């Protein structure tokens, strides 16, 4: 299970490498991603389950999270005067909101207006939070 998860997480990172942050937000926090459970991000699909797994499995998840954060941080328009820790904190916040939005939307009935509203509001707020 850990090996399959590691492979899937590596694929998620690879699929993200060519996207800027706005593209990532629009693709990740979308109805297509929400509904594409079999092709979607392993993190959004299995975070709740990973929390109840062994330390080895959690370590695999942590590596996947770190890979995604590193990839996204490379796309973050860093302020030359701000320390790297500030950019990393903003990426952690952005990624946590993206995962949370997808998870909350998936928890709603498929045809629910709330499911779409969650995605729309989170996508708009995340995009607005990006530096210009």
| Mean pLDDT value across the chain | 85
Which pair of structure tokens corresponds to residue 88? 């990393």
Q: The tokens 């459970």 sit on which residue?
A: 37
In this model, does residue 37 exceed pLDDT 70? no
**Domain chopping of the chain, boundaries:** 2-128
Bigger pLDDT: 72 vs 53: 72
In this model, does residue 79 exceed pLDDT 70? no
Please give the Cα distance from 5 to 8 (Å, whole number): 5
CB 46 within 8 A of CB 5: yes
Q: Which class does domain 2-128 fall in?
A: mainly alpha
Q: Maximum CA pair distance of the chain?
A: 46
* pLDDT at site 80: 66
* pLDDT at site 66: 92
Q: Work out the percent of the chain whose per-residue pLDDT is above 70.
A: 90
Tens-place pLDDT, residues 19-31: 899 999 999 999 9
In this model, does residue 32 exceed pLDDT 70? yes
CB 121 within 8 A of CB 105: no
């Amino acid at each position: 299970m850990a090996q399959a998860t590691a492979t899937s997480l590596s694929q998620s990172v690879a699929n993200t490498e060519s996207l800027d942050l706005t593209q990532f937000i629009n693709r990740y926090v979308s109805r297509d991603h929400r509904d594409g459970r079999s092709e979607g991000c392993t993190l959004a699909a299995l975070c709740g389950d990973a929390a109840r797994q062994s330390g080895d499995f959690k370590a695999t998840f942590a590596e996947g999270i770190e890979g995604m954060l590193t990839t996204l941080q490379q796309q973050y328009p860093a302020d030359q005067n701000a320390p790297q820790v500030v950019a990393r904190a903003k990426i952690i916040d952005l990624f946590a909101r993206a995962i949370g939005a997808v998870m909350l939307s998936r928890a709603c009935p498929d045809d629910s207006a709330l499911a779409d509203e969650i995605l729309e509001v989170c996508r708009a707020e995340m995009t607005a939070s990006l530096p210009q």
